[in-house]
Copies of this chain bind each other. A is one copy, B any other.
């Protein structure tokens, strides 16, 4: 079976500066290749991606081209460095831009475009913050429709305080990172195949109507502007 993966590398550094996060990304894509996955790595900061929460922020915005690839992918991986204990500003920018996908539900099922996509996360930092970056990112992806397999993360961090980063610290030979890279690769691929053959049937649109029939707004309209489109 032919599968494809998009990896968004959210390093702060433009090409051709070396990216520790990219080094770890390449390890994972290298493990997925023999399992039949063709991967494309996009270094987000090399492109003109304005801040925003829509799928197209107007002239010069290069996000629509990236988004088209994201929506066509079986596997979506966010790769991010850690800064100040959390995911990078570029990773946050990417997640915010993906907000626009909420506005493109399937007309029949109401499912968001990322439904049936399989999500993962790859993280590097010279110390602490991987759990926070991973949990927020995977949760955000799951909210936008991604399936999260077990052990769908891979990270390397050094011990407390500043220090060398992944490549300089010999992270390539770090047992825990290498173990989880393999687990992640195999589980991502298994679920990507599974979702291709068994797409989620849930009719989000109908269930939303059912919920609406049962619910009322918690505040009367006079106490606030009309609700924005749900999501």
Binding site for B on A (CB under 8 A): 12, 45, 51-53, 83-90, 92-93, 95-96, 99, 112, 114-115, 126-132, 134-136, 138-140, 142-153, 155-164, 168-171, 173-183, 186-187, 190-191, 194, 198, 200-202, 204, 207-208, 210-212, 214-220, 223-231
Contacts and interface: CB of A to CB of B under 8 A. Distances in A.
A157 B132 CA distance: 15
* A135, A204, A230: residue with the most chain B Cβ atoms closer than 10 Å: A135
Contacts of A129: 128, 131-132
A180 B143 CA distance: 10
Given A138-B142, A174-B218, A200-B150, A169 B224 contact: yes
A136 B138 contact: no
A145 B52 CA distance: 31
Given A159-B159, A231-B162, A131 B130 contact: no
A130 to B, nearest CB: 5
B218 A169 contact: yes
A229 B162 CA distance: 8
Contacts of A86: 86, 92, 131, 136
A143 B173 CA distance: 22
Nearest to A131: B85
26 contacts: A85-B132, A85-B135, A85-B139, A86-B136, A88-B92, A89-B89, A89-B96, A112-B150, A131-B132, A131-B136, A142-B151, A145-B150, A147-B191, A157-B159, A157-B160, A159-B174, A162-B227, A162-B230, A162-B231, A170-B216, A173-B218, A176-B230, A178-B214, A179-B211, A182-B208, A190-B201
